[in-house]
Structure 1
Amino acid sequence: MALRVGVVGGGQLARMMIAPAVELGIELRVLAEEPGMSASLAATAVGDYRDAATVLAFARDVDVITFDHEHVPQDVLAALVDAGVAVRPGPGALRFAQDKLLMRARLAELGMPQPEWAAVTDATELQEFIDAHGGRAVVKTPRGGYDGKGVRVVETGVEADDWFAALAEDTHGGALLAEELVDFTRELAQQVARRPSGEVRAYPIVETVQRDGVCAEVIAPAPHAGDRLAAVTAELGIAIAEGLETTGMLAVELFQTTDERVLVNELAMRPHNSGHWSQDGAVTGQFEQHLRAVLDLPLGDTSPRAGWSVMVNILGGPAEGGLDERFAAAMAAHPDVKVHTYGKAPRPGRKVGHVNVTGDDLDEIAYQARAAASFFQD
């Protein structure tokens, strides 16, 4: 009987696990939030991931449960563990991806480099932090934010009053996360795979380019990284994976500062946008690697297949008409480009796909990737 992996969440990350699952002979099952989602090809159930009974019923006949996102509540995760289900990553690790304040505190315990930060419960405390950090700060909601959501750059404490008001109405109370506004030269990402038996493998460090808080491009490996930086970030990623006891793929988003330090910005305990290049640019892509890791199978080689890989996200898509005609046009104009679509209806700012190009001339493949992605924009 084939190994069975259950994925909670029917988004594009679950969708991109389907092909490697077929290649590995793994039966992939998906609990989608609603019909017609990106991973509908593998959706064997539709239901609310916040409902323990629904998730337990879905998990009944699989070998391991993993995730398309990190939003499954802790009580649901605990119910799975109590029922004897293998949950990977487990609730102990996921809580650090679900709550940025917990993440910051745990990373501090592990001695990881990160921006100066504080938990703030009102405008006065936020203003004190701002005043102590040059007159500006980043404020974040600890839970639920992604792709620029739940993040603000502020100069006064009252600029987060609406978030403080929402906290006051929450029966659990809580605080916001205030961070120093880091003077960085670029953003990097380090991916690591870890399996339950302890084997770990690091991917090459990559450079990520953000636009409006959303990842737009990834270059692998990061240009001008050098052996020292690559070794430092790989060691850092592995130390975090081991310190948090993650299982599966871990993405560590980093700032590289003007004085050549690296600071941890965010964590993701799943396949990640910064690793999409590896589908076509690495010996073992991140989606295959995630399946190997959560099943505790030997991890694959993370080496690049070419000198460079460039990934460009397709954001928004055409205002009118479908993506099929654009897809064919992009393929015809750029036959060396790999186009990956997510089966989503276009809307402004939405990630509806990405393109990958690999080669030995970075300028050329970056041009090809950007040109191919432009076919999907009006």
Structure 2
Amino acid sequence: MTDVAAAVSAGWDSYARIVASLIRVTGDWTLAEDCAQEAMAAALERWPRDGVPGNPGGWLQTVARNRAIDVLRRAAVEKTKLQEVAMLWDPGSPGTPGEIADDRLRLIFTCCHPALSLEARVALTLRTIAGVPTTDIARAFLVTESTMTRRITRAKSKIADARIPYRVPTGKALDDRLPGVLAVLYILFTRGYDADGEPAFAEEAIRLARLLTSLMPAEPEVPSLLALFLLQHSRRHARRDAMGDLITLEKQNRARWDQEAIAEAVTILMRTPVEGPYAIQARIAACHATALTLATTDWPSIALWYDKLAEIQPSPVVALNRAVAHSYAFGPAAGLALLAEARSDGALDNYAAAIAVEADLTARSGDLPRAAALFRTAAAAAPSDVERRALLTRASDLDR
């Protein structure tokens, strides 16, 4: 049974490939997803009884293809369409992997088309490429399942009605579209990595980043994003205590960090040039991941990287993190000065993380009572119970 479970789990890696192939030849998103899901259901029913086939992915592809043929035949779809579906990829035939790779790329770029809202892109990517149940997507977006179903359906309809092309852009169009695709994966990862996020979403983002890296190895920001995900996710087992509360970076047991993931990410970065914001963020994360302690972290390098990131991708959050980096590299006074600059336009007002940073820098400057009060203010503005408890704990520690 363990072998069957492992085979079914591995079979999900074929899900996006099967859906992409069926969409390409039928143009019907719902049919493609239904057939792929029915193939998975058939595997769960038959493999425990009949044994795992020698090529699980090929078995799933064949079952999904045959199901599509049956549906199209009953619907009296034109003969040529049936022939196209019948000629779908045969795992044993030579010369087809490139076409399948193109199918998956087309599917990713179609799901992440800028004509769709950002939320629709994330939801459609989760549903169509990752195969995440609509119920789980709805929970992540804090809406009902029926509401999310309608949103995903509208997104698919918009793709059809607007005749959004099912293709990977080229040239300047690719340069323009790729950041949007990577942004969707970044949001997906964040929804799994946040304090109250869905951990499986972070793992799906890593899986999709791996897929995109294998399909677009010449685009430096793609493997850089994968490296960033691996480095951040390497700390997943050390970020919470037995009660589920967050553990700050300086108190985490670094022996629990995933060293294999860190080594893989560092290897990726060694062969990837720095050409964009994800490459910079990944190198910042690598400085943290490869340090033995918070005190031995290469803070001057991190500060320099944040200086560069602030130049090419300025934002309030980048400015906030830059202040933290400078505080460790050059002292809390330097950090407080940059923090005041970052907050001068009001963009960080009532932002819990910004207040918490001020509290931390204030504590390190020696004013513990004011720092404790700031931590409580940050807790009141925190977006989740987990973060609220962590901030109140920091305040209580300073009161002792």
TM-score range relative to shorter protein: under 0.3
Indicate the structure with greater strand content.
Answer: 1
TM-score scaled to structure 2, two decimals? 0.23
Higher relative contact order (CA 8 A, sep 6+): 1
TM-score scaled to structure 1, two decimals? 0.24
Q: Rg bigger for which structure?
A: 2
Indicate the structure with greater helix content.
Answer: 2
